[in-house]
Amino acid sequence: MAKDTWAIRLRQPDLAQQITPGQFFMLRPADGSDPLLGRPFALYDTYTDEDGRLTGVEFGFVVVGKLTSLMTRWKVGDTVEVWGPLGNGFPVPSAKHLICVAGGIGQTPFMAVAAESLGLKHYGSPYRQLPELPDSVTLCYGVRSQEYLSGLDDFALPGLHINVATDDGSYGHHGFVTELVQQQLDGDEQDIEVYCCGPEPMMKAVAEVCSGASVKCWMSLETPMACGFGACFSCVTKVKEDDGTWDYRRTCVEGPVFEAERLVL
């Protein structure tokens, strides 16, 4: 897809029929014990066969360790172990303007979010119902440089507005993606909702921008995890309680999507 960035499709009709935008699944090799633990991957999109039947799921990843390096050598017909769908996913959009903010590989969950919000696809079993589609859907996407941009052709959906920022100015806006978000929030619109996914420093900055503009923001955390279904407690994150204190919540079960104002980042 881009430098050090790959996409894989898994033929798994049951998973494709159940999963919703923002949910994830755990994946590991079917044979051997190295690596022993699975890794979480967010849904990029579902895909169909030549007859239009839901066939499986597609996901993207950056090569950063042993499993992802191994995955670049997987071929058609290889068998893997997968469990899911897991997590809560993004809520159904409730504002007139939905802004998706992605940093790096954090653009992954927004393909399905955008397709659903634009009325182009349905997800879940039964289908998730959107009482009303947003009037406008925007993707603000930031990466280090142009060579790391992945999926721009896929995101060329009818009705989706795309704004790109690169740290080095090699493509689009020269600067951080948070500057693009600020430009959007500085407009005359009032009814805006933000979905965000990416590196924690970027998400913290987006949360601060949204808080300053009194805009609702939801964040999908990229927390490392071992089991994916809440048994190991290895993926906990700090969440604010109603009384002002905080407690731990499991990202794999209570998340990975949380309200930004409740996260202790």
Which of the residue ranges 54-58, 185-189, 250-254 would you say has the lowest mean pLDDT?
Answer: 185-189
User: Which alpha helices (H) appear in the chain, and where do they start and end?
Assistant: 13-18, 66-71, 110-117, 177-185, 200-212
Residues 123, 170: one domain? Answer: yes
The 10 Å Cβ neighbour count of residue 179 is 16
The pLDDT tens digits of the residues spanning 8-42 come to 999 999 999 999 999 999 998 888 777 788 899 99
Residue 187's pLDDT band (boundaries 50, 70, 90)? confident
Is the per-residue pLDDT at 230 higher than 80? yes
Same domain, 109 and 62: no
d(CA 68, CA 132): 39
pLDDT at 33: 72
Instruction: Look at residue 31 and tell me if it is in a domain.
Output: yes
pLDDT of residue 20: 97
- The amino acid at residue 33 is S
163 sits in the region (left: phi over 0; alpha: psi -120 to 50; else beta) called: beta
SS3 content of the chain, % helix, strand, coil (to 5): 20, 35, 50
Q: What is the overall mean pLDDT for the chain?
A: 93
The pLDDT score that the predictor gives to residue 188 is 66
pLDDT one-digit tens code per residue, 118-169:
999 999 999 998 999 999 999 999 999 999 999 999 999 999 999 999 999 9
Distance CA 143, CA 62 (A): 13
* Amino acid 233: pLDDT: 87
pLDDT at 111: 96
Domain boundary among 41, 58, 86: 86
Q: Six-digit token pair at 206?
A: 């987006």
The domain tally of the chain equals: 2
State residue 4's pLDDT score.
Answer: 92
Average pLDDT (206-229) is 92
Residue 14 structural domain: 5-86
User: Which of 52-61, 78-87, 103-112, 188-197 shows the lowest mean pLDDT across its residues?
Assistant: 188-197
Burial class (CB within 10 angstroms; exposed 0-12, middle 13-18, buried 19+) of 165: buried
Give the domain CATH number at 19.
Answer: 2.40.30.10
Q: Are residues 163 and 133 part of one domain? A: yes
Would you say the pTM of this structure is higher than 0.85? yes
Both 43 and 147 in a single domain?
A: no
Pairing mode of beta strands 236-240, 246-250? antiparallel
In this structure, the answer to whether residues 80 and 111 fall within a common structural domain is no
Whether residue 138 is found in the same domain as residue 222: yes
What is the average per-residue pLDDT within 164-189?
A: 93
